[in-house]
Amino acid sequence: MVEGAFSIFKRIFGEHVMSLRWANIIQEIRLKVALYNRWRNESIARELERSVPHMT
């Protein structure tokens, strides 16, 4: 499961970072992880919305 997440992450963002300084490398990775988590949470929410019938 973890390998699948790393594979998706690398497919989206690539295997390399653009930053050169350690502080910037850490900041870049944190940003990428935050973006991945947000994308993942939103895709799960959309899937749940589709699977649960709406009460009207």
pLDDT in tens, 1-50: 889 888 988 999 999 999 999 999 999 999 999 999 999 888 888 887 78
Range list of β-strands (E), 1-56: none
Q: What is the pLDDT of residue 2?
A: 85
Q: Assess if residue 45 is contained within a domain.
A: yes
Is 33 among the domain residues? yes
Query: What is this structure's pTM?
Result: 0.75
Measured CA distances, 44 to 10, 18, 33, 41 (Å): 20, 29, 16, 5
User: 56 lies in a domain?
Assistant: no
Residue 20 or 51, more confident: 20
Higher-confidence residue of 52 and 6: namely: 6
**In the chain, how many domains are there?**
1
Range of the domain at 24: 2-51
- What is the per-residue burial (b if ≥16 Cβ within 10 Å, else e) of 5-28? eeeebeeebeeeeeeeeeeeeeee
